[in-house]
């Protein structure tokens, strides 16, 4: 007997506990599903290792029963280093890079018994909001294959949304967990900066990068966070604050709604929260308008130096027959990096240069402090902040980026307008589904004070007890998926059970291509 | 030439002798096969992060205290970006705006014994780069990252050094200090201390600084001296022939004894410094300062003063003994064990130093422990052995080890001061050398020395020479009367 395609981790644990399924069976089934999928959500699938680990998990379950995440199949965003398994960051630069060590998050999840099925696609070096900046090609949104899943953790979001895995790791620098979670109709948590170790997570912007979970419910997010968080002596910026408690009852909270955010999309959600007994207050985050600009300066500045190590000397892509050192550098980097990565390296290099440092980097840091202060002031009067996750539902592939670089990149950057402020402030924030518009999921964002994950998750859990948006799924033929709402089912996928590794070319897709649901 | 004066400032790079690197757990030991002491962090593999080594911070604090600089309550690290194959991250982690130590001074001693105070601008922590190996790879460059991440304390002086000699004294004073503090092994030939020099010249009496050049990577006292001398002369030549000194970075070519403009990727017009987001600011607490203060050893200047004022050594001896902290440590122990600082100083500067030089031994591992040397000195003083016996006994101790008293006993080296025994020897010498005896009696007193020597020889060197001389004179005058 198998568990449903869209089972949560809690469902899977129950099935493993009751022995209605085995870890091997679960892994096998999902590996087949991954092989049959043509979402392009995986860069690398680890079939053999996964089945071997699942076998071990079954032995563990046989003697000790199911505990932790034992036997639960997951995927890692391909930004987390995995010993012996190539870690590409979806870049040509690292397309053949096999790390000799595991990221701390990878170690922790393995120790908890989770089974890694593979590495998910993403925007190159986590730079992007549509997953179109991948050396391995774009990822499709399971709700509509003509649309993007969001980014940069688009592969993880699409894989969870399509029921390929019940959960996946992801990273969020300016919205890379929350935005794709919203566009794919799943739950995603960006923890407080410092909550989850960054060791072994390939750096994009060190002062903003934060790993976190993507799953099908807030309850699952909490469970995953428990097995990802914790102080790490290998990461100086990881916080020594102890595990996230589970003590907030999630009632009678004061919910702030920022007047600077276009909050109509979360009106219904706010009404539900009011019905649940929470207070609703309008608040002001006056520096919101500057957040995106400040973010792109700070993040690009840090990225420009974080990516200096990719020089063709020690690892990564190396140009053929360089004539001298300059040629080695120039060609290795020109060939190895994609357009968006180059753009950010150039932007960051410029912002840090003599004569521009004060005008850009220093000013951006000042704005960052002001944005942070806005939140600290707001949290004097409210317990949590409710906001939209994204300015629109999933947009069509190619709508905001063009291969010939003719589109204004700042339009794509504006996708992060609602997620960037919490990133700059280092605050925990999550996105959970709160509606469907024209057949596409809509996400709402909740932001908490530093290390307020318990409160954040409690509210999300109570919202999900009251609503079923998080249980809506894209229509997938040949599975036991539940139908979505009446306007859903625009995307149909005829899954074919094939052996893993046979590739996913055999699916037919039909898309009714609804108009972009920009709100 | 007397119209010109030179103005020199030094940036010394002091390798801190921590067990592990400044931002990783890899060992720092010198001389291992290439790339065997570089971990994932040193190789800058994707995803790795630096973690600051607290020991490096402690050493920087100790230095700051020793030079009476200001130790920042809060300092931070910055990224200094440039591309070079032996710089794995493409940036060096250093300190720009907020160094751990600001100000302070080093007092250098002039030829005439007067001191000159050289102010320090700052001292900051940073990581060393790896090494590019241009030989042995047939047209390719080898990269050895063993050194990458070794902690450096960069000590920057104000431009207050007036000559190559002063610069040399400053560098030596710094060398002695960091070794005394135990924060650097001081092995220049292993690159443990290197310096960059800023030089300009100006008309004597002028208060304005001339345009300066910088000579990079001077790694010996001799090269520092020669490079500065060459560069000063070059600048004067340029100015005297109506030219202008160009601001540039130079390398000193020891083989040709000249400075040359540096070409290479290590140079950049813009290092794009900004705070390293991977590292938190370093907070130096009162308790860290107290701890460092408690470990602060006696500094070279204080030591020298104590040798002169309390031990009664000459200024020359005091200076000689304090140049190398290991020598001073050995001397201190020998002086304490013997209770005779002056005699100990003579031995350390004489026989011990000669043997150390001859055998290329380290002062930390002199085969004759200071306690044995102290005992040896005591035995001379209490008349147990003669100075001559002591010298040969020292050689025995050096070569074979052992205990002074046991050796004196087992080899029968105890000095003979007993009058009857010596009188008997004297008698035999007089009987055996009638001609010389006659000469002494006829007034050629210098022949007495020959007779004393014969008596010493007959005693196997054990007779107390003063007693021999006395008894000989007594016997000869007695015979005459």
DSSP line for B310-347: TT---HHHHHHHHSSHHHHHHHHHHHHHHS-HHHHHHH
pLDDT digits (tens, 9 = 90+) for B87-121: 999 999 999 999 999 999 999 988 887 889 999 99
pLDDT digits (tens, 9 = 90+) for B355-398: 999 999 999 999 999 999 999 999 988 888 888 889 989 999 99
Q: What is the pLDDT of residue B103?
A: 98
pLDDT higher than threshold 90 for residue A364: yes
* A99–B46 C-beta distance less than 8 A: yes
The position carrying tokens 């020889």 is B457
Rounded to whole angstroms, how far apart are CA atoms B66 and A517? 68
For A281-297, what is the mean pLDDT? 96
Q: Strand A42-45 relative to strand A115-120: parallel, antiparallel, unpaired?
A: antiparallel
Q: What is the pLDDT of residue B407?
A: 87
The position carrying tokens 């600009």 is A293
The CATH code of the domain at B419-480 is 1.10.10.410
Task: Please tell me which residue in A112, A176, A389, A392 is annotated as part of the active site.
Answer: A176
pLDDT digits (tens, 9 = 90+) for B223-240: 999 999 999 999 999 999
* B47–A203 C-beta distance less than 8 A: yes
pLDDT higher than threshold 80 for residue A347: yes
CB neighbour list of residue B443: distance below 8 Å, 6 or more residues apart:
none
Q: How far is A168 from chain B (nearest CA, A)?
A: 19
B371's tokens: 């306690």
B69's tokens: 């600089």
What ipTM describes this predicted complex?
Answer: 0.90
What is the overall mean pLDDT for chain A?
91
Q: Choose from A80, A124, A194, A306 for mutation: most chain B CBs within 10 A.
A: A306
Q: Are A209 and A185 in contact (CB under 8 A)?
A: no
Angle value at C-alpha A373, between A370 and A375, nearest 5 degrees: 120
Q: How confident is the model at residue A505 (pLDDT cuts 50, 70, 90)?
A: very low
Q: What is the pLDDT of residue B153?
A: 98
For A425-446, what is the mean pLDDT? 97
* B90–A199 C-beta distance less than 8 A: no
Closest partner CB to B51 (pick from A233, A301, A353): A233
pLDDT higher than threshold 70 for residue A481: no
* A354–B274 C-beta distance less than 8 A: no
pLDDT higher than threshold 50 for residue A128: yes
φ, ψ of residue B370 in degrees (nearest 5):
-55, -30
Q: How far is A350 from chain B (nearest CA, A)?
A: 9
The alpha carbons of chain B give a radius of gyration, in whole angstroms, of: 30
CB neighbour list of residue B359: distance below 8 Å, 6 or more residues apart:
B398
Q: How confident is the model at residue B419 (pLDDT cuts 50, 70, 90)?
A: confident
Closest partner CB to A314 (pick from B43, B50, B278): B43
Interchain CB contacts (distance < 8 Å): A and B: 103
Q: What is the pLDDT of residue A264?
A: 81
Q: What is the pLDDT of residue B480?
A: 45
Q: What is the largest CA-CA distance in chain A?
A: 70
Positive or negative, the CA dihedral A351, A352, A357, A363 is positive
Q: How far is A305 from chain B (nearest CA, A)?
A: 7
What is the overall mean pLDDT for chain B?
91
Considering A406-415, B8-17, B314-323, B384-393, the range whose residues carry the highest mean pLDDT is B8-17
Q: How confident is the model at residue A516 (pLDDT cuts 50, 70, 90)?
A: very low
Rounded to whole angstroms, how far apart are CA atoms B395 and A66? 76
Closest partner CB to A236 (pick from B52, B81, B270): B52
pLDDT higher than threshold 70 for residue A514: no
Q: Residues B332, B334, B339, B344: what is their CA dihedral angle, to the nearest 10 degrees?
A: -100
For A164-187, what is the mean pLDDT? 98
- Which chain A residue shows the shortest CA-CA distance from B83? A308
Rounded to whole angstroms, how far apart are CA atoms B157 and B297? 23
Q: What is the pLDDT of residue A496?
A: 29
Whether A407 is catalytic: no
Boundaries of every domain in chain B: 4-288, 298-410, 419-480
Q: How confident is the model at residue A286 (pLDDT cuts 50, 70, 90)?
A: very high
B446's tokens: 């210098």
Q: Are B26 and B37 in contact (CB under 8 A)?
A: yes
* B272–A352 C-beta distance less than 8 A: yes
Q: How confident is the model at residue B49 (pLDDT cuts 50, 70, 90)?
A: very high
Closest partner CB to A309 (pick from B88, B143, B276): B88
* A206–B272 C-beta distance less than 8 A: no
Percent of chain B scored above 70 by pLDDT? 97
* A305–B90 C-beta distance less than 8 A: yes
Rounded to whole angstroms, how far apart are CA atoms A60 and A62? 5
Q: Is A328 helix (H, G, I), strand (E, B) or coil?
A: helix
Task: Please tell me which residue in A152, A238, A423, A462 is annotated as part of the active site.
Answer: A152
* B81–A207 C-beta distance less than 8 A: no
pLDDT higher than threshold 90 for residue A118: yes
Whether A77 is catalytic: yes
For A171-180, what is the mean pLDDT? 98
For A70-78, what is the mean pLDDT? 98
Q: What is the pLDDT of residue B479?
A: 52
What are the CB-based long-range contacts (under 8 Å, 24+) for B231-238? B231/B197, B231/B199, B231/B259, B232/B4, B232/B6, B232/B164, B232/B199, B232/B201, B234/B259, B235/B6, B235/B199, B235/B200, B235/B201, B235/B210, B236/B1, B236/B4, B236/B201
Boundaries of every domain in chain A: 9-283+370-511, 288-361
Q: How far is B58 from chain A (nearest CA, A)?
A: 18
Neighboring chain B residues of A301 at a CB cutoff of 8 Å: 274
- Which chain A residue shows the shortest CA-CA distance from B275? A302
Q: What is the pLDDT of residue A188?
A: 98
CA distance to A353, A486, B81, per residue, from B270 (Å): 7, 60, 8
* B274–A325 C-beta distance less than 8 A: no
pLDDT digits (tens, 9 = 90+) for A143-159: 999 999 999 999 999 99
Percent of chain A scored above 90 by pLDDT? 85
Q: Strand A384-388 relative to strand A440-447: parallel, antiparallel, unpaired?
A: antiparallel
pLDDT higher than threshold 70 for residue A503: no
Q: What residues of chain B have any CB closer than 8 angstroms to a CB in chain A?
A: 40, 43-52, 79, 81, 83, 85, 88-91, 143, 265, 269-270, 272-274, 276-280
pLDDT digits (tens, 9 = 90+) for B257-266: 888 888 654 5
Rounded to whole angstroms, how far apart are CA atoms A473 and A8? 12
* A202–B143 C-beta distance less than 8 A: no
Task: Please tell me which residue in A22, A37, A41, A77 is annotated as part of the active site.
Answer: A77
Q: What is the pLDDT of residue B423?
A: 84
pLDDT higher than threshold 70 for residue A2: no
Whether A152 is catalytic: yes
pLDDT digits (tens, 9 = 90+) for B283-324: 999 999 999 999 999 999 899 999 999 999 999 999 999 999
* Yes or no: domain A9-283+370-511 corresponds to CATH 3.90.1300.10: yes
């Amino acid at each position: 007997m198998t568990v449903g395609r869209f089972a949560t981790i809690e469902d899977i644990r129950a099935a493993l506990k009751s022995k209605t399924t085995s870890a091997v069976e679960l892994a096998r089934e999902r590996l087949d599903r991954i092989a049959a999928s043509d979402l392009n959500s995986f860069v690398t699938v680890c079939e053999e290792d996964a089945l071997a680990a699942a076998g071990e998990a079954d032995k563990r379950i046989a003697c000790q029963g199911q505990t932790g995440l034992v036997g639960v199949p997951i995927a890692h965003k391909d930004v987390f280093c995995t010993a012996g398994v190539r870690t590409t960051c979806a870049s040509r630069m690292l397309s053949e890079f096999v790390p000799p060590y595991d990221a701390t998050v990878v170690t922790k999840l393995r120790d908890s018994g989770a089974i890694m099925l593979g590495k998910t696609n993403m925007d190159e070096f986590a730079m992007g909001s549509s997953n179109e900046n991948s050396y391995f090609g774009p990822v499709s949104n399971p709700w509509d294959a003509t649309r993007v899943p969001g980014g940069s953790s688009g592969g993880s979001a699409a894989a969870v949304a399509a029921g390929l895995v019940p959960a996946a790791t992801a990273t969020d620098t300016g919205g890379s967990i929350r935005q794709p979670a919203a566009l794919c109709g799943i739950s995603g948590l960006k923890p407080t900066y410092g909550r989850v170790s960054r060791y072994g997570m390939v750096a994009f912007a060190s002062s903003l990068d934060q790993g976190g979970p993507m799953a099908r419910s807030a309850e699952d997010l909490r469970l995953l966070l428990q097995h990802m968080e914790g102080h790490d002596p290998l990461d100086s910026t990881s916080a020594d604050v102890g595990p996230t408690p589970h003590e907030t009852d999630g009632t009678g909270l004061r919910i702030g709604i920022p007047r600077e955010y276009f909050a109509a999309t979360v009106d219904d959600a706010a009404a539900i929260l009011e019905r649940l007994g929470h207070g609703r207050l309008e608040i002001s985050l006056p520096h919101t308008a500057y957040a995106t600009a400040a973010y792109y300066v700070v993040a690009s500045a840090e990225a420009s130096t974080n990516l200096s190590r990719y020089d063709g000397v020690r690892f990564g892509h190396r140009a053929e027959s360089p004539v001298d050192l300059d040629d080695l550098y120039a060609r290795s980097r020109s060939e190895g990096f994609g357009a968006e990565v180059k753009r950010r390296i150039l932007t960051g290099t410029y912002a840090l240069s003599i004569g521009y440092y004060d005008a850009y980097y220093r000013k951006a840091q000042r704005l960052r402090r002001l944005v942070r202060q806005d939140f600290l002031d707001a949290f004097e009067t409210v317990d949590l902040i409710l906001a939209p996750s994204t300015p629109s539902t999933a947009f069509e592939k190619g709508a905001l980026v063009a291969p010939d670089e003719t589109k204004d990149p700042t339009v794509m950057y504006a996708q992060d307008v609602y997620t960037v402020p919490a990133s700059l402030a280092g605050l925990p924030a999550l996105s959970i589904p709160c509606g469907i518009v024209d057949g596409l999921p809509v996400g709402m964002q909740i932001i908490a004070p530093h290390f307020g994950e318990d409160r954040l998750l409690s509210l999300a859990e109570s919202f999900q007890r009251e609503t079923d948006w998080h249980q809506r799924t894209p229509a997938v033929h040949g599975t036991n998926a539940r139908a979505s709402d009446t306007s859903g089912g625009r995307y149909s996928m005829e899954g074919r059970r094939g052996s893993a590794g046979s590739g996913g070319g055999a699916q037919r897709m039909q898309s009714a291509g609804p108009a972009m649901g920009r709100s | 030439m007397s119209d010109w004066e030179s103005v020199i400032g030094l940036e010394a790079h002091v390798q801190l002798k921590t067990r592990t690197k400044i931002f990783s757990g890899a060992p720092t030991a010198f001389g291992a096969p290439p790339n065997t002491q570089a971990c994932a962090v040193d190789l800058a593999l994707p995803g790795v992060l630096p973690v600051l080594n607290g020991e490096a911070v402690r050493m920087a604090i100790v230095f700051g205290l020793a030079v009476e600089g200001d130790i920042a309550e809060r300092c931070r690290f910055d990224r200094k970006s440039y591309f070079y194959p032996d710089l794995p991250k493409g940036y060096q982690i250093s300190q720009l705006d907020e160094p751990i130590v600001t100000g302070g001074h080093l007092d250098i001693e002039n030829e005439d014994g007067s001191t000159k105070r050289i102010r320090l601008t700052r001292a900051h922590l940073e990581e060393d780069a790896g090494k590019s190996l241009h030989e042995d790879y047939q047209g390719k460059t080898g990269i050895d990252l063993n050194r990458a991440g070794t902690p450096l304390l960069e000590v920057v002086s104000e431009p207050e050094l007036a000559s190559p000699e002063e610069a040399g004294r400053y560098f030596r004073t710094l060398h002695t200090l960091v070794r005394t503090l135990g924060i650097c092994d001081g092995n220049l030939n292993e690159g443990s201390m290197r310096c960059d020099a800023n030089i300009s010249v100006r008309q004597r009496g002028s208060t304005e600084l001339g345009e300066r050049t910088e000579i990079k990577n001077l790694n010996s006292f001799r090269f520092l001296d020669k490079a500065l001398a060459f560069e000063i002369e070059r600048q004067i030549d340029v100015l005297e022939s109506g030219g202008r000194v160009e601001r540039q970075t130079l390398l000193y070519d020891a083989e040709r004894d000249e400075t040359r403009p540096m070409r290479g990727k290590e140079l950049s017009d813009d290092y794009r410094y900004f705070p390293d987001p991977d590292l938190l600011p370093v907070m130096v607490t009162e308790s860290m300062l107290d701890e460092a203060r408690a470990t602060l050893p006696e500094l070279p200047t204080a030591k020298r003063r104590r040798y002169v004022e309390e031990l009664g050594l000459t200024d020359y001896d005091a200076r000689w003994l304090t140049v190398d902290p290991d020598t001073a440590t050995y001397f201190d122990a020998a002086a304490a064990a013997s209770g005779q600082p002056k005699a100990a100083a003579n031995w350390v500067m004489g026989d011990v130093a000669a043997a150390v030089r001859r055998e290329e031994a380290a002062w930390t591992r002199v085969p004759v422990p200071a306690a044995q040397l102290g005992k040896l000195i005591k035995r001379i003083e209490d008349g147990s052995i003669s100075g001559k016996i002591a010298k040969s006994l020292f050689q025995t101790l050096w070569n074979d080890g052992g205990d002074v008293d046991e050796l004196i006993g087992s080899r029968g080296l105890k000095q003979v001061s007993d009058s009857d025994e010596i009188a008997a020897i004297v008698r035999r010498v007089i009987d055996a050398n009638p001609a010389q005896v006659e000469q002494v009696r006829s007034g050629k007193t210098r022949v007495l020395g020959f007779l004393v020597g014969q008596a010493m020889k007959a005693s196997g060197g054990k007779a107390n020479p003063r007693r021999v001389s006395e008894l000989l004179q007594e016997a000869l005058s007695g015979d005459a009367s």
